[in-house]
Chains A and B, each alone.
Chain A
Amino acid sequence: MRVRVRLFARLRDLAGAGELVRDLPEQATVQTVWNALTTEMPSLREYERTMSVAVNAEYSRMAAAVHDGDEVAFLPPVSGG
């Protein structure tokens, strides 16, 4: 299956792109997506303990299942206001 990955702020800068497409095995979770990304780009790992994740623009968890066509986002600590 294929998912769209969104990265924001410094995570986007580290990856050099805000939007990526990745092919994953069936039964994948948000964690699977993150593992694929950090294998390619180890520098992203610094956010593992501080980031939030979202699936289809709803806050989610690393253990959540992802499905074909989903949008999975990784969000550094926020600084709005």
Chain B
Amino acid sequence: MDWLESITRDYATNERFNLSVSGGNPILRYSLVGSYYGEQGIIDRDKSQDWSSTMRLQRYNMRSNVDIDLTETTLFRVNVGGYLQDDRRPPQSIDHLFNMAFETPPYVHPEQYSSGEVPVTPERSNPWALATQTGYQRGSSSRLETLFEIEQELDFILQGLETRFKFSFDRYSANSVTRSKSPDYYMPAIGRTDDGELDLTIYQYGQQFLDHSTGSEWGDRSVYVEGSAMYQRNFGLHNVEGLFLYNQRHYDNGDMLPYRNQGIAGRASYGYANRYIAEFNFGYNGSENFAEGRRFGFFPSIAVGWVMSEEEFMYPLSSTLSNLKFKASHGLVGNDDIGGRRFAYITTIGETGGYNWGVNADYHRAGRWEGDYGVPNLTWETVAKTNVGIEIELWHSINIQADYFQEQRRDIFMQRQTIPSSTGFITSPWANYGKVDNQGVDISLDGNRRFSDDFSISVRGTFTYAVNEIVEQDEPSTIVGTHRSSTGHPVGQLFGLVAEGLFTEDDFIDVDNGILHPDIPDHTFGPVRPGDIKYKDVNEDGVITDLDRTAIGGTVDPQIVYGFGANMQYKNFDFGFFFQGNARTDRIIREGSSYLIPGAGGGALGNFYSNVDDRWTPENPNQDVFWPRLADYVHSNNTQASTWWLRDMSLLRLKNVEIGYNIPEEILDRAGSKSARIFIRGENLLTFTDFDLWDPEVGTNHGFRYPIMKSYAFGVNVTF
């Protein structure tokens, strides 16, 4: 039984319609966009049921933007948008379905017997039945986004002064209904009875009808207010600009108290003859997370620029080097997001297990104890950012931008790592502790060239390379400076054991009892036999333990991200594509799931993948295999995070490709249309990667996730 095949369909469809109208007169302009998006998911359904559990999503979007000139100097803008959405899905989480389909071995039982009974291994699940026999969940949600804005030119007070006032109100609400049932489950058949019927016993009684439970309605709303004043004026060759801005945000999602932020920001800049530019920015922000007195942070930054191509001595080159600019900036940015913990200066009361007293054990009291310890002197985490860059434009058609950046993150929020549990703190206290440096380059290139009226090409590419390093963090003094320390490594550095290959018979003095040669370090994760992973004794203490874990590979987050693409137009045809890729990204696969290893769950868990033959066996004692010796239990020695399971997850993907054809005007005129274009578009059609067990982009160590879809679309754009 291929469980993945069993719960999924080969393809799913989606459809999208857009309609936009715009127009107006000198004092009133409007645009109206309506769209519909419909999608079906790839989770399969059972057609014999009169309900469907296939994933389905329908979304109706509407947006209207209206600009009104109230007076000659006053602009009033109203944008209202939102959507209504209905969806349907199986009652289980999709990740859970994939998890089950990935972990259940193919031989346990079929999805359903020909006589209709649904089998299941006790305490396990039948992935097909979970996906198709347990009902469905229907959800409905809506979002409303509004923006009101007034822009007032104040030239009558001061030439070049303008104010703006923004108010926006967003609201989201959702509800759901679950109609679920469980089928009658039978134990897997153990044979046939004398009359040829399957010998089945029932395991669990289900129900024939769909239950009904209404999920509680939930939602959120946010109110954003912003007021700003801007000033911009040229005095001959001097250009002066200024901005002062106040904003506040109120976000209420039904939590204890609404979330609130407020801040002011300002900018002053001076330019001379479009050649020299200097700018000063600041932000002064307040956060509810900190105690009074530590609540506000001041974050200034400065920037300078020199447009060398505007210098007179460069004019002779201006047809080739049409723009050359050097720039540099340095500034501070703050972060008040402390990982979900709010009001970090207040000690909270937590809940623990309770206790029963009384001769009948009926005097119950719920347990309470200290929650998060309040730390009164917590404050903003800061990042000092330095940037130097160059902008080059050649022949008015090729643009190159290159930046080098450096960031120094300080006072990082973290929970203390070195307070031992023997102190009795329920959760480790928070602190501003730790330093991380980050540096890298950012390069982008784009070019447009029109070779003739019929033929033009544009290309673009981006490339980012960034490396960070933990300079200081809260690590126990016994770890600092050893192979186990993550100081000096990037954030998220992978750690694990170093696999030296698989044990051979020669490594043992007694194979049957698993007794290793005296000069081979003892492996303490469990008994070992030939074919099991052999680790390196990194700390040279003669035994392999968790203390031998060291930095292996890189990080999950890619250090290089790049993309490139091109668009071409020839007469009425156009063609475009875009590739996206990342590199220097690693994962230790299998971490987080012991049952990824074939058969590891005592026969009832641990799927067999197509590469299951690529494994060590006594008959094929090969070192160059994917799987070590397989066992029908969780074999702790082989499930350790180690270089054995380390994989390079680099990826290059043809993100989209599109061919279009513009219908000639002479045909359109007759239909009363201004322009019309038909196109075929494909997404994610090609993927180049060394890792082929699942799509690296799903972003897990085990693949139990709804996969990335290849998609093909056919469409028409018509303008009247």
A and B associate:
no
Residues of chain B touching chain A, judged by Cβ–Cβ distance below 8 Å, are none
